[in-house]
Amino acid sequence: MAIDLPDNITVFACSPELAPETIHVVVTLPTFKRPEHLLKTLRSLKEQNTPRHFAIIVMENEAEEQDGAKVAGPLFESGDYKGLVIIAHDRGNCNAYNAGWLTALKTFPNFKSLVVIDDDEIASPDWLENLLRTQETYGVDFVGGPQVPVFAKPEHQVWAKHPVFSPHYSQTGRVPIIYSSGNLLVSRKVLEAMPFPFLDITFNFMGGGDSDFISRSVVKGFTAAWCAEAPVFETIPERRVQADWIRARALRNGVISTLIEKRKRAQEPFGGLKTVLKSIALLALSPFRAIVKITQTGSLSIGLYQVYIGLGRILAEFGYSNEQYRQPEKN
């Protein structure tokens, strides 16, 4: 099947008799150096309880070894899975997403909803159907769902309540914004309305390109909801409960918060100054907020998260960016 794609996107594998015009939902699945877990994620998609006609686009972002494409490609070519495996040759989280979303638009003329799941996640059996029903019930353009952490060691489960791992919402319904694409539904009309590249590659190795994209979309008038009944289960390696990783992630989240707010206020009078003053205020208040959180939870790490967010917001004003995805073996 011929698809008009730019040179930095290559079709690695395609399922036979795909019939693109029959597809109403596209699930995009970026992958980078996780071939074994990619297969687990794919199996969970195969087990979805839904009558919807959906296709999967796997976006391999490791253009040299292509381990993910090599394990997934034969499964698509044999017809076990419906969809495509593509190579997103330009490295980076945002580039992978952009490649998959553009491929969806160019391949499937009738899809109405695009869904995202990561290659370190397992979808619950009713995940896809519940996301779609929530979209239909509330008439929104984005639907997010919880990413439930599954830790490598059972004793690490105490970290589930840490802000780095806990979901932003707990109940199904309309929400002002979604903060992550790790479990996300996007309506086609959002992709058709927003400029390409959808995710700003400034965020390629830092993360936050998804939050920035959703924020810009909400400013344009698109709406969001949360579906508590559509969890994915995210595998958390031991590395991510170490103090330096938690600290780096908190600082990064503060940096992203400042960058997104600067963009939102770009056209406001004194918008930059307002952002700086807010950052200073949040940093000044953070020790008191930390004390409250430590008292409530008994966790020093949860309390310090408030301080690191404030520090990250200030550091962003000096050009600091923590590109955790630059070295994936440390992430």
Q: Kindly list the domain boundaries of the chain, sorted by start residue.
A: 9-237, 243-330
pLDDT by residue (tens digit) across 37-61?
Answer: 999 999 999 999 999 999 999 999 9
Looking at the chain, list the stretches that DSSP marks H as alpha helix, in order from N- to C-terminal side: 35-46, 67-77, 93-107, 127-138, 188-193, 209-219, 243-264, 271-297, 300-316
More confident residue, 164 or 66: 66
Q: Is the pLDDT of residue 269 over 90?
A: no
Mark 289-300 as b/e (b = at least 16 C-beta within 10 Å): bbeebbeeeeee
pLDDT by residue (tens digit) across 106-122?
Answer: 999 999 999 999 999 99
How far is residue 152 CA from its own chain's centroid? 21
Stated pTM of the model: 0.91
Pick the CATH number of 9-237 from 3.40.50.720, 3.40.50.360, 3.90.550.10, 3.60.40.10: 3.90.550.10
pLDDT score, position 328: 63
Cα atoms in the 13 Å half-sphere on the side-chain side of 41 = 28
C-beta separation of 32 from 96 below 8 A: yes
